[in-house]
């Protein structure tokens, strides 16, 4: 069946899944912003924002062999649901802690580790499910719509948190509990996919062997390895968003509500771009578009580090988030298409480490360099590092650079 627009329609199950992903993203985004504000409110130190990023990343790295194999072996809806239930429990405990006067961030970091363990299972399952359920000819549109829902959450979450934080530090965490709960309930309506599943023997040792097989496949595929590693090393240096609470206070001289607007600018720029891509996805010069978008990301990061003007900072954040949306769209389409069905969980788990490395370790890098060299030099240094990585990767991975159409991308052999 083809709609009047000439595009095949999206099944009901895909629409419901996108709704669950939106609720989960809304909850996750609200909690992320609230944690940054809470930690900085307790200690007032940029380096503690970096430690928060480390607490989020460590579980992704440790649990990846098991979360990826679980996503390939079991029903991905069930893996996603179990992870959501743990996220609900962690968000509820953060809510309880935020309601009481806090003198230390130790308990916060501990709960963030628990949340990170759950996230390590949620991420590969939830990212593979849209590709599993998308009919032929709709993958690019589903990826773009997923990005739209994520960016809408990125706009609403920070605005809501910025306002609620004024009335009490625990209110944003209540929003997270509600959002994760809605996602868990909505997920019950999503149908089971018919993709191939991992059939090797069960057990922790086998999970590690399966993960190694995934790493070997990724290393043999220059398209998959190039796309995933580019995100890690390019965005690793451009993690300036984690410093927004400090940038708002020390560089721009604004309050928490204005910082919430800065976080929202991340979502606004990405939403505009993702909305355009959902209607007019990139059709040609896919590889070059990926490298060009990350170049813009680096330049906008430099502008953010140099300015002391609030409006200029808003524009710079919108520009870097728009560029990042293009990068995410291209990578989120290429990587699953270039990966066998029964290996997507493991590859996406590995990619989740790389994403975690670029975001959470990027947060640590930004926090440390800001503490050592100052706020502005840290942000500018990060943007310059991103530009260097783009040049190196264009030379090192010509197969990725030369991709013209998504239809050219085919999964290689798993063995």
Q: Could you report the per-residue pLDDT of 168-210, keeping only the tens digit for each? A: 777 888 888 999 999 999 999 988 877 778 777 777 778 788 8
Q: Which of 31-45, 288-302, 303-317 has the lowest mean pLDDT?
A: 31-45
Q: Could you report the per-residue pLDDT of 346-373, keeping only the tens digit for each? A: 888 877 777 665 565 666 666 666 667 6
**Of 49 and 316, which is predicted with more confidence?**
316
* 139-148, 189-198, 288-297, 402-411 — most confident range: 288-297
The pLDDT of 69-75, averaged and rounded, is: 86
Q: Which CATH class is domain 12-188+203-408?
A: mainly alpha
Q: Which of 289, 264, 263, 288 is nearest to 276 (CA)?
A: 289
Average per-residue pLDDT in the chain?
A: 81
Please tell me the predicted confidence (pLDDT) of residue 40: 76
Please tell me the predicted confidence (pLDDT) of residue 5: 47
Please tell me the predicted confidence (pLDDT) of residue 68: 84
What is the sign of the dihedral through the CA atoms of 62, 64, 65 and 71?
positive
Q: Torsion-angle region of residue 202: left (phi > 0), alpha (psi -120 to 50) or beta? A: beta
Residue 66 clears pLDDT 70, i.e. is over it: yes
Please tell me the predicted confidence (pLDDT) of residue 84: 94
> Quick check: 357 and 234 in contact, CB under 8 A?
no
pLDDT-derived band of residue 3, with 50, 70 and 90 as boundaries? very low
Give the C-alpha separation, 372 to 378, whole Å.
Answer: 9
Residue 377 clears pLDDT 50, i.e. is over it: yes
- Between CA 189 and CA 69, with CA 121 as vertex, the angle to 5 degrees is 105
Backbone phi and psi for residue 165, each to the nearest 5 degrees, phi listed first:
-60, -25
**Of 66 and 374, which is predicted with more confidence?**
66
Please tell me the predicted confidence (pLDDT) of residue 79: 92
Q: Could you report the per-residue pLDDT of 24-56, keeping only the tens digit for each? A: 988 888 888 888 877 877 777 767 777 777 787
Q: Which of 107-111, 254-258, 393-397 has the lowest mean pLDDT?
A: 254-258
Q: Which of 332, 352, 327, 330 is nearest to 79 (CA)?
A: 352
pLDDT-derived band of residue 88, with 50, 70 and 90 as boundaries? very high
> Quick check: 109 and 43 in contact, CB under 8 A?
no
**Of 189 and 257, which is predicted with more confidence?**
189
Please tell me the predicted confidence (pLDDT) of residue 187: 92
**Chain center to CA of 138:** 22
Please tell me the predicted confidence (pLDDT) of residue 57: 76
Please tell me the predicted confidence (pLDDT) of residue 371: 67
**Of 351 and 16, which is predicted with more confidence?**
16
Residue 134 clears pLDDT 60, i.e. is over it: yes
Please tell me the predicted confidence (pLDDT) of residue 118: 92
* Domain regions of the chain by residue span: 12-188+203-408
The pLDDT of 69-73, averaged and rounded, is: 86
Q: Which of 373, 391, 379, 361 is nearest to 55 (CA)?
A: 361
Give the C-alpha separation, 151 to 156, whole Å.
Answer: 9
Residue 4 clears pLDDT 50, i.e. is over it: no
Q: Which of 162-171, 332-341, 393-402 has the lowest mean pLDDT?
A: 162-171
* 88-97, 212-221, 259-268 — most confident range: 88-97
Residue 412 clears pLDDT 60, i.e. is over it: no
* 134-143, 237-246, 299-308 — most confident range: 299-308
Cβ-in-10-Å burial (0-12, 13-18, 19+) of 390 comes to buried
Please tell me the predicted confidence (pLDDT) of residue 1: 43
Tell me if the pTM is above 0.85: no
**Of 151 and 59, which is predicted with more confidence?**
59
Share of the chain above pLDDT 70, in %: 89
Half-sphere exposure of residue 56: CA atoms within 13 angstroms, side-chain side: 26
């Amino acid at each position: 069946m083809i709609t009047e627009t000439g595009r095949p329609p999206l099944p009901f199950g895909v629409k419901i899944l996108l709704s669950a992903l939106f609720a989960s993203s809304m909850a996750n985004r609200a909690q992320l912003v609230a944690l940054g504000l809470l930690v900085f409110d307790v200690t007032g130190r940029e380096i503690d924002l970096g430690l928060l990023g480390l607490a989020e990343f460590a579980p992704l790295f440790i649990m990846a062999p098991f979360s990826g194999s679980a996503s390939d072996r079991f029903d991905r809806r069930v893996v996603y649901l179990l992870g959501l239930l743990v996220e609900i429990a962690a968000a509820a405990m953060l809510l309880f802690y935020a309601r009481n006067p806090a003198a230390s961030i130790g308990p916060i970091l501990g709960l963030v580790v628990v949340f990170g363990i759950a996230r390590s299972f949620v991420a590969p399952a939830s990212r593979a499910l849209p590709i599993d359920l998308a009919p032929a000819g709709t993958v690019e549109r589903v990826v773009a719509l997923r990005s739209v829902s994520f960016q809408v959450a990125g706009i609403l979450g920070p605005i809501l948190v910025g306002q609620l934080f004024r009335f009490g530090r625990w209110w944003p965490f209540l929003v997270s509990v509600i959002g994760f709960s809605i996602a868990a309930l909505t997920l019950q309506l999503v149908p089971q996919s018919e993709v191939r599943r991992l059939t090797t023997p069960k057990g922790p040792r086998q999970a590690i062997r399966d993960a190694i097989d995934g790493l070997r496949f990724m290393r043999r595929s220059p398209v998959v390895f190039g796309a995933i590693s580019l995100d890690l090393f390019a965005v690793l240096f451009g993690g300036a968003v984690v410093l927004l609470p400090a940038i708002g206070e020390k560089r721009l001289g604004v309050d928490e509500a204005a910082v919430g607007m800065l976080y929202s600018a991340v979502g606004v720029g990405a939403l505009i771009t993702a909305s355009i891509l959902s209607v007019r996805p990139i059709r040609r010069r896919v590889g070059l578009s990926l490298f060009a978008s990350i170049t813009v990301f680096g330049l906008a990061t430099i502008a953010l580090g140099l300015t002391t003007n609030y409006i200029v900072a808003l524009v710079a954040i919108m520009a870097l988030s728009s560029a990042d949306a293009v990068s995410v769209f291209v990578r989120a389409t290429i990587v699953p298409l270039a990966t066998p069905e029964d290996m997507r969980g493991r590859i996406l788990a590995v990619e989740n480490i790389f994403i975690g490395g670029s975001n959470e370790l990027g947060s640590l890098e930004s926090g440390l360099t800001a503490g050592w060299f100052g706020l502005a030099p840290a942000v500018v240094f990060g943007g310059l590092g991103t530009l260097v990585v783009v040049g190196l990767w264009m030379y090192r991975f010509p197969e990725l650079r030369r991709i013209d159409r998504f239809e050219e991308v085919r999964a290689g052999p798993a063995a």
